[in-house]
């Protein structure tokens, strides 16, 4: 403002800026620093920078020349030699325009097709340099990191098709910023993992995982073949709607034939359920089920390693992992556990037992050979039974899984700590392995048809969904023990 002189009010009209902004010319003045003066300068208060009009400078008979480093204002008497001129851009009003459709050059050597030549040259150098990105090509030239390459700005109008064929990647799936699911059972994620190379002790090879989007509560069911999926899902959905007194509105799965079939389509049409299918080879669109699968598998692997049990018990470990995780995982959005969100009460964890813990199994009177026969046998704790206070116990002597309440557990950890004994050796671990059945892993896989014995022939074991107070919780009926539901308890 200190450079303004001879300021006079002037209504010069409205000046439009980029976008919808602009300002009005309010006065006219002279700008001078004592050496250089500009007269008839229009003042616009909203304009943050000073602008100099080239056309008005030329109207004063000055010449203006630009190069890559500066702008030169030449004296009126300066004339450009004719052989220096390559092209001419006639002035229209206050702008200088070039019409490339009719533009010509004053030299027979030069050409006016600058854009086309640059693009062809860019494509050629792009191929020479191994199809590296144009950003890297310009970086090399701009910073003088290589020689022998013309100093051009490499650009291309269309994408390089060979680069797409060789480098194209799948577009990332950004997480949802807001979840609009506000009630349980509004959306169920489901997925199937398997087949597992080693069958479970009940002869199962697949595991069906269903997760509620609102509460993140999960149900698991073990299958021998994929074609059992549709019947199990129908029974599960009907059971959940009855227990929760809510309606399943949407289910989301992949495009596998175990989910996409006539049986499921008719069931969804009858119940008014919308079945959402993810795109082929795009598991990210069913991320809720995929993440739950990974969590269950990692927890199962850890529990089997800690219990030092063979992989044959993987179904029992998945069952127990699902039962425990439903009660300990917290949904950050609600700051509540999965169990509380779907059952409306806090979970009781007092009854939990470490997976694979040694325990004793009390025998019934009719199972004893005499009055002096042992009243209990050794077993291994394998998990929980749905809708019952019973625990699932592996009878080492008969090699069967029983659904009984263990009489008591052997607290070997506390006992060994009191003795200050060293860690178990590899030979001792081998002896324990022999005690469980002996041989290699193949011996366990050959016993896949061992019957699963339950105290009630009509009872079916379930995923980890039992709480120890015999109340009505949301459970899934059926798991690894469902392979032979009509077997009776053997002696």
Check pLDDT > 90 for residue 275: yes
Rounded alpha-carbon distances, angstroms, from residue 465 to 84, 107, 323, 343, 476: 88, 87, 5, 11, 7
Place of tokens 């030092």: 308
Give the confidence band of 414 by pLDDT, cuts at 50, 70, 90.
low
Check pLDDT > 60 for residue 150: yes
Mean pLDDT, residues 419-437 taken together: 66
C-alpha neighbours within 13 Å on the C-beta side of residue 258: 21
191, 206 in Cβ contact below 8 A?
no
pLDDT at residue 165, as a whole number = 83
pLDDT at residue 206, as a whole number = 93
463, 457 in Cβ contact below 8 A?
no
Give the confidence band of 64 by pLDDT, cuts at 50, 70, 90.
confident
453, 486 in Cβ contact below 8 A?
no
Check pLDDT > 80 for residue 387: no
**DSSP single-letter state for residue 462:** B
pLDDT at residue 117, as a whole number = 45
Check pLDDT > 60 for residue 472: no
H/E segment holding residue 244: helix 229-244
Give the confidence band of 269 by pLDDT, cuts at 50, 70, 90.
very high
Rounded alpha-carbon distances, angstroms, from residue 167 to 126, 157, 185, 338, 487: 15, 19, 41, 42, 58
Query: Considering only CA atoms, which of 442, 306, 451, 326 is closest in space to residue 380?
Result: 306
241, 185 in Cβ contact below 8 A?
yes
224-228, 359-363, 381-385, 440-444: segment of lowest average pLDDT: 440-444
408 burial via Cβ count (<10 Å: 0-12, 13-18, 19+)? exposed
pLDDT at residue 130, as a whole number = 87
Check pLDDT > 60 for residue 384: yes
Give the confidence band of 316 by pLDDT, cuts at 50, 70, 90.
very high
Q: For residues 347 and 386, what is the distance between their CA atoms, to the nearest angstrom?
A: 15
Rounded alpha-carbon distances, angstroms, from residue 412 to 51, 306, 436: 87, 14, 17
Give the confidence band of 471 by pLDDT, cuts at 50, 70, 90.
very low
Residues 6+ apart with CB under 8 A from 26: 9, 10, 11, 12, 43, 44, 45
pLDDT at residue 287, as a whole number = 85
Query: Considering only CA atoms, which of 437, 364, 357 is closest in space to residue 396?
Result: 437
Dihedrals phi, psi of 389, to nearest 5 degrees: -80, 0
pLDDT at residue 301, as a whole number = 92
Q: For residues 425 and 335, what is the distance between their CA atoms, to the nearest angstrom?
A: 44
Give the confidence band of 272 by pLDDT, cuts at 50, 70, 90.
very high
Query: Considering only CA atoms, which of 58, 91, 85, 98 is closest in space to residue 74?
Result: 58
470 burial via Cβ count (<10 Å: 0-12, 13-18, 19+)? exposed
Place of tokens 């080693």: 198
Q: For residues 295 and 326, what is the distance between their CA atoms, to the nearest angstrom?
A: 12
Instruction: Tell me the pLDDT of the chain averaged across its residues.
Output: 77
What 3-state class would DSSP assign to 294?
Answer: helix
Dihedrals phi, psi of 409, to nearest 5 degrees: -110, 145
pLDDT at residue 485, as a whole number = 36
Tell me the two tokens of residue 123: 């494509």
Beta-bridged to residue 207, according to DSSP, are 193, 222
Give the confidence band of 263 by pLDDT, cuts at 50, 70, 90.
very high
Give the confidence band of 297 by pLDDT, cuts at 50, 70, 90.
very high
Q: Which own/partner contact pairs does 157-165 have at CB distance under 8 Å and 24+ positions apart?
A: 157/119, 160/123, 160/126, 160/131, 162/131, 163/131
Mean pLDDT, residues 435-453 taken together: 43
55, 94 in Cβ contact below 8 A?
yes
Rounded alpha-carbon distances, angstroms, from residue 92 to 66, 83, 89, 393, 470: 19, 24, 9, 94, 91
pLDDT at residue 458, as a whole number = 37
- pLDDT cut 90: percent of the chain above it: 24
Beta-bridged to residue 377, according to DSSP, are 361
**DSSP single-letter state for residue 243:** H
pLDDT in tens, 218-262: 999 999 999 899 999 999 999 999 988 899 999 999 888 899 999
pLDDT at residue 101, as a whole number = 58
Give the confidence band of 18 by pLDDT, cuts at 50, 70, 90.
low
Rounded alpha-carbon distances, angstroms, from residue 471 to 140, 243, 246, 336, 479: 72, 12, 19, 20, 20
Mean pLDDT, residues 390-394 taken together: 86
């Amino acid at each position: 403002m200190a450079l303004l002189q001879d300021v006079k009010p002037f209504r010069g009209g409205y000046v439009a800026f980029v976008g919808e902004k602009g300002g009005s010319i309010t006065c006219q003045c002279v700008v001078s620093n004592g050496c250089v003066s500009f007269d008839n300068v229009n003042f616009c208060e909203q304009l943050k920078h000073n602008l100099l009009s080239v056309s008005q400078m030329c109207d004063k008979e000055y010449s203006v020349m630009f190069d890559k480093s500066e702008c030169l204002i030449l004296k009126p008497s300066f004339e450009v030699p004719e052989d220096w001129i390559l092209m001419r851009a006639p002035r229209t009003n206050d702008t200088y325009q070039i019409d490339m459709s009719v533009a010509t050059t004053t030299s027979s050597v030069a050409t006016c097709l600058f854009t086309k030549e640059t693009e062809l040259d860019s494509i050629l150098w792009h191929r020479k340099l191994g199809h590296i990105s144009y950003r890297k090509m310009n970086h090399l030239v701009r910073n003088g990191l290589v020689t022998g390459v013309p100093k051009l700005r490499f650009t291309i109008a269309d994408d390089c098709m060979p680069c797409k064929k060789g480098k194209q990647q799948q577009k990332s799936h950004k997480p949802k910023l807001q979840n609009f699911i506000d009630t349980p059972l509004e959306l169920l994620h489901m997925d199937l993992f398997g087949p597992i190379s080693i069958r479970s002790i009940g002869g199962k090879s697949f595991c069906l995982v269903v997760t509620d989007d609102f509460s993140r509560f999960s149900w698991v069911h073990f299958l021998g073949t994929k074609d059992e999926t549709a019947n199990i899902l129908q029974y599960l959905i009907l059971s959940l709607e009855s227990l929760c007194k809510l309606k399943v509105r949407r289910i989301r799965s992949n495009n596998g034939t175990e989910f996409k079939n006539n049986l499921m389509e008719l069931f969804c049409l009858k119940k008014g359920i919308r079945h959402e299918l993810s795109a082929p080879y795009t598991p990210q669109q069913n991320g809720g089920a995929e993440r739950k699968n990974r969590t269950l598998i990692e927890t199962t692997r850890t529990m089997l390693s800690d219990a030092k049990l063979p992989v044959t018990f993987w179904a029992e470990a998945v069952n127990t992992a699902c039962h425990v995780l439903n009660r300990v995982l917290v949904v950050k959005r609600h700051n509540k556990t999965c169990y509380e969100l779907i059952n409306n009460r806090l979970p009781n964890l007092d009854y939990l037992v470490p997976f694979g813990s040694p325990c004793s199994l009390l025998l019934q009177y009719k199972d004893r050979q005499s009055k002096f026969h042992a009243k209990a046998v050794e077993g291994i704790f394998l998990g929980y039974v749905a809708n019952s206070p019973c625990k699932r116990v592996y009878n080492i002597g008969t090699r069967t899984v029983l659904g009984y309440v263990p009489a008591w557990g052997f607290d070997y950890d506390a006992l060994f700590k009191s003795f200050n004994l060293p860690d178990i050796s590899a030979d001792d671990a081998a002896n324990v392995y022999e005690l469980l059945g002996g041989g290699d892993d193949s011996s366990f896989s050959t016993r896949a048809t061992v019957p699963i014995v339950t105290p009630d022939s009509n009872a079916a074991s379930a995923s980890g969904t039992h709480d120890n107070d015999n109340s009505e919780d949301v459970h899934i009926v059926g798991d690894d023990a469902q392979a032979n539901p009509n077997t009776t308890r053997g002696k």
